[in-house]
Homo-oligomer: A and B are copies of this chain.
Amino acid sequence: MESWVRKISLHEPSLKDNTGDADRLANALKRDLKTDNPVEIDLQLIRQLPEFIRRWSHQLRCVIFKDRGKYVLAGISDGEGIRPIAGIAVDLGTSRVVVRLINLETNETLAESAFDNPQAAIGPDILVRIHHADTPSGLEELSDLIVRELNRTIKHLCQQGEMETTDIYLIVVSGNTAMTHLFLKLNPHWIIREPYIPAANRLPLIKAAELGISINSTGRLMAFPNIGSYFGGDLISGVLYSGIHLQEETSIMVDVGTNAEVVLGNRHWLIACAGAAGPALEGGVTRMGMMAGAGVIDRVTIDPETHDFQIHTIEEKPPVGICGSGLIDLAANLFSTQMLDIRGKFVASNCGNRLIEKNGIDYLVIVPETESATGKALTISQPDIESLIRSKAAMFSILETISTTVGINLDTLSRFYVAGTFGSFINPASAITIGMLPDLPIESYQPLGNSSLGGATLALTKPSCIDDIDKIRGKITYLELNVNQDFMNRFSAAKFLPHTDPSRFPSVPPR
């Protein structure tokens, strides 16, 4: 099994071999790793070595990591395995931060926790936070908000995992470019101003203590590199987790978080684009509904004969609202049952008494007030449907644009990975019905779950994949959507259900 933890048995020094302790350890690690690359041991660790090496009778476990070709010692522990050795994977999301505690010797996940990004107190919108970073000590404040909550969570996870925070030697953080900047106290001022330049795309391996993170004082923190302002480390992490970059056949990965980001490719090439800057995505794919949670409608079916609604809620609690996947299910079923026309307008004759009107706006009742947990009817308005259609059209246009750029037909893709919460809940058949995702066999669709956290976990547990991160970065061609003229034409054509050209969706029954 691969592991960043190496058991090292040092030769005892003698009068004939007066190599220094640190040099002896670096040499032993080089032999153990079968590498000619340098192994760096920093001054803080060198200070600990003489005492610990002798206390542990020259038997020790070393936690290493790799950074741009060189290996770095992140910590040492006793050779007998008295103390555990752990790492932390972090998905640093704009709205939510997910933290996973991992045993670095067994590579098991020991515990997991999440918290709402406390930077939301400054502004839920990332732009507000970026502007706040320009105010006096605003950047420090934003970073400290995350660090404080991260420390609290790490402490809590360690209690669950029955260890001390000093047993943690590695942290891998995967976030978008802006979040990574704010976390590392890099001012993101220029990433929102033309030509949108990050302070750094590749980030140095730092001491976690440099940011005030309470793990072992010699422990290291790696942040996934970005490709540009609108294509962050979370995506690189996602590609790593998907394995697209290792496959001979061409696959696609879509991550719908705050932005809609797409990577297409195989082991020979990768092309990526992100939709955040596209005007069509304003209002965003993710604003279609509320966050998933107990009582939120995540699946809907409508009986084609009776037009009865069958709804499913998370944890099967009384309904409180609808999330993105539920909305897509709803729209697909409304369309199949001809309650929506190809323009996405409610068909009054088929909607019956579910259709109501208020202040000149049409609403469709999903759940009547008698069955709703809120005491009010749960409805969807004509503008909500139009917003959904803009979002799905944007999504499909992004997919078409990126595939056309490389001369690939979307139908020929071997796998379609859908990352994120969205990917876990979405019903691909419904997404195809409304023309959001291409008309591939259902089994081509594979949910990845939290691919950003998955990639960070891989970096912590599979040393052989570390070099892949830079390879992925080096291989990806980034397509800037907001400067692409074709995009707007495709977007207009995709604003119908499923599309102005129904031949692209053969599995969707024609009207």
Contacts and interface: CB of A to CB of B under 8 A. Distances in A.
Interface of A: 13-15, 17-23, 26, 38, 40-43, 46-47, 49-51, 54, 68-70, 184-187, 189-190, 194-204, 206, 210, 226, 228-229, 478, 480, 483
Contacts of A50: 186-187, 189-190, 197, 199
Nearest to A200: B22
Given A47-B186, A186-B47, A197 B18 contact: yes
Contact of A13 (B20, B185, B195, B226): B195
B14 A198 contact: no
Interface of A is mostly: loop
Nearest to A23: B201
Contacts of A186: 43, 46-47, 50
Given A41-B204, A69-B38, A46 B15 contact: no
A38 B47 CA distance: 27
A199 B15 contact: no
Nearest to A227: B18
A184 to B, nearest CB: 6
Question: So how many copies of this chain end up in the complex?
Answer: 2
Given A38-B69, A483-B15, A47 B195 contact: no
A206 B203 CA distance: 19
Nearest to A482: B15
Given A15-B195, A194-B15, A195-B15, A200 B46 contact: yes
B18 A199 contact: no
Given A41-B204, A43-B184, A187-B51, A20 B69 contact: no
Contacts of A26: 202
Contact of A18 (B38, B41, B196, B202): B196
A196 B226 CA distance: 47
A200 B15 contact: no
11 contacts: A13-B195, A17-B195, A18-B198, A19-B197, A20-B198, A20-B201, A22-B199, A26-B202, A43-B204, A50-B187, A50-B189
Contact of A199 (B21, B206, B228, B478): B21
A477 B196 CA distance: 55
Contacts of A69: 38
Given A50-B189, A184-B43, A480-B15, A21 B204 contact: no
Contact of A197 (B13, B51, B229): B13
A199 B20 CA distance: 5
A41 B19 CA distance: 30
Contact of A195 (B18, B40, B54): B18
Quick one: which of A40, A47, A187 has the most chain B CB within 10 A?
A47
A184 B196 CA distance: 42
Nearest to A226: B20
A15 B197 CA distance: 9
A220 to B, nearest CB: 12
B38 A201 contact: no
Contacts of A204: 40-43, 46
Contacts of A20: 197-202, 226
A199 B46 contact: yes
Nearest to A139: B47
Quick one: which of A42, A54, A204 has the most chain B CB within 10 A?
A204
Contacts of A13: 195, 197
A351 B26 CA distance: 62
Contacts of A189: 50
Quick one: which of A20, A41, A69, A204 has the most chain B CB within 10 A?
A20
A38 B67 CA distance: 10
Nearest to A44: B210
A221 to B, nearest CB: 10
A7 B47 CA distance: 37
A18 B229 contact: yes
Given A18-B228, A198-B20, A199-B20, A187 B47 contact: yes
Quick one: which of A17, A22, A51 has the most chain B CB within 10 A?
A22
Given A18-B229, A46-B186, 20 more contacts: A15-B194, A18-B197, A18-B478, A19-B201, A20-B197, A20-B198, A20-B201, A21-B190, A21-B197, A22-B200, A23-B200, A26-B202, A41-B204, A42-B206, A47-B187, A47-B199, A49-B200, A50-B186, A50-B199, A70-B70
A478 B187 CA distance: 51
A203 B40 CA distance: 10
A144 to B, nearest CB: 15
A482 to B, nearest CB: 9
A47 B43 CA distance: 23
